Structure 1
Amino acid sequence: MTTVAMITGAGRGMGLACAEVLADRADLLVLADRDEAGAAAAADRLRAAGARAEPFVVDVTDPAGVGELARHLAARGRLRWVAHAAGISPTMADWRTIVAVDLIGTAALLETLRPLAGPGAATVVFASMAPLLDPNPPDPAALAVLDDPLHPDFLERLREVLGAAVEQPGVAYGWAKRGVQRLVWREAVRLGAAGARICSISPGIVDTPQGRQEASAHPSMRALVERTPLRREGRPEEIAAVVGFALSEEASFLNGTDLLVDGGVVAALRGADGQR
């Protein structure tokens, strides 16, 4: 049977880098992105390199579109690998949209794809180092709300428990990505019954178009690069290499955990703050 890899956010940046890593592994790459031109260009690039690739236009916040994606994948063969890189960052939208794309969309995608997961299937979803930069322990009441992202009143409940602070895009982003990390814990238990597994990856500052947009709006990101022990930003291919390993047979016992790939900046900040 045809083995299928599906990558969201595949039109550019880390999503495209993930697709390139999986190109030699899958019989078919399905490149999902809401940007039709970007997905088509990525498919052309991968086909030119010898891969079998096809674009699929989808917005992860659209339940009908996500359902159509699942049906498309089921018709193509055995869904073996998923890299969910689609997401938005603080400069790109208001707080509601950030949470809807980065957390609610991720939860809905995983729920819709779960019936396609069989023995050996592996998924990596993108989180962020952002929650680990928050020095304050999270409120248990907020975590209880955060752990139910598909509740019909989720955004209102989150605003109620976190207050006006969540309307700041950076705060919303951090909470959304914390929710993704915690979602993976629960999803690992669900998928394990089918012999499938899932992890999240939390990149640090990475040199992508989206990362450069954030850096231009937030000069403080330069300070984080300077505090990074490796004294540089990451590269998309470095993040994709970790995703490729997490999805590989060599990582077949890796499940329900987050992989921090940040050049050591969180460790440096924790050390400076005396945290253990």
Structure 2
Amino acid sequence: MSDRLTGKIALITGAAGGIGEATAELFAREGARVVITDITSARLEKLAERLEGEGAEVLVAELDVSSPTAWEAVVERTRERFGGLDVLVNVAGIVDWPGIEDTGQEAWDRVIAVNQTGTWLGMKAALPLLRASGNASIINTSSVLGLIGSGAAAAYQASKGAVRLLTKTAAVEYATRGVRVNSVHPGVIVTSMIKTILDEQGDRQPDIVRTPMRRAGRPAEIAGAMVFLASDESSFVTGAELVVDGGLTAH
């Protein structure tokens, strides 16, 4: 690798699988010291062992992103272990597929708590350390469903649309305070959650058919976008939407 993140300390949520895991792996290989978090630590320990075997410095922390006290504790552990923070990557998220009338209050509240409130809480808790860095980056994971409607997934789409604009307002607020804030918008990516849906669709796979490149993306392809936004290569990029969707939103 090219050591694009050497010297940077990065905190990544949702690192136990899919996009979060791929991002943690690539960040570590590009030279970052990484704090990997998820709701449970079992799979994180295996990831940490693998990355440490490759020479990376890793801190493992359980984190319920919907809990402000949990965020405060993880940020403090990061400060104690590494002395600061340069990059926050908000990946953790959940999905609920029903539309407006079929979405229950409990499901709605949970999706908003994790995807939307969790992103805000993460920024709020991490910003003192990020501002102290003087050259920091926040990367919030939205979705193509934060850009276009699907006719379903009401809570998920509402939360991802909110993440998009929360990112933009934070970018403006911190543009002269040493923190860039951008959002990444994945299309159909083969994670465990999406693979189940694609398998259920069988040969039809309408989500693939609607994608001009006629395939699903890989988590590693999202991780590459994350590295760009975390690195100094994107030093004049803030408030942007980096869409990685095989052309899905192009038509």
TM-score (norm 2): 0.86
Q: Which amino acid aligns with 1:243?
A: M
Tell me if 1:36 matches 2:38: no
Structure 1 moving runs of 4+ over 6 Å: 217-221
- Greater alpha carbon shift after TM alignment, 209-218 vs 114-123: 209-218
Tell me if 1:125 matches 2:140: yes
Distance 1:264 1:65, change over 3 A: same
Q: Once the two structures are superposed, what CA deviation does each residue of 1:22-57 show, in whole Å capped at 9, x if it has no partner?
A: 113445211011121021111112112221112110
> Which residue, out of 232, 253, 263, partners 2:236?
253
The answer (yes or no) to whether the contact 1:8–1:33 under 8 Å persists in 2 is: yes
Tell me if 1:49 matches 2:64: no
Report the equivalent of 1:175: 158
Tell me, in whole angstroms, the C-alpha distance in 2 between the residues paired with 1:217 and 1:133. 23
Report the equivalent of 1:196: 179
Q: Which amino acid aligns with 1:234?
A: G
Query: What runs of 5+ residues in structure 2 fail to find an aligned partner?
Result: 1-6, 99-105
The answer (yes or no) to whether the contact 2:91–2:141 under 8 Å persists in 1 is: yes
> Which residue, out of 110, 113, 128, partners 1:100?
113
More helix by share: 1
Q: Once the two structures are superposed, what CA deviation does each residue of 1:163-186 show, in whole Å capped at 9, x if it has no partner?
A: xxxxx7x11100100000000011
Tell me if 1:90 matches 2:96: yes
> Which residue, out of 63, 68, 71, partners 1:63?
68
Query: What runs of 5+ residues in structure 1 fail to find an aligned partner?
Result: 137-167, 269-276
Q: Which amino acid aligns with 2:147?
A: L
Distance 1:114 1:106, change over 3 A: same
Distance 1:61 1:241, change over 3 A: same
**CA RMSD after TM alignment:** 2.3
- Aligned residues with identical type, % of pairs: 31
Distance 1:27 1:258, change over 3 A: closer
Matches within 5 A, 1:89-168: 89-90=95-96, 94-117=107-130, 118-134=133-149
Tell me, in whole angstroms, the C-alpha distance in 2 between the residues paired with 1:213 and 1:244. 27
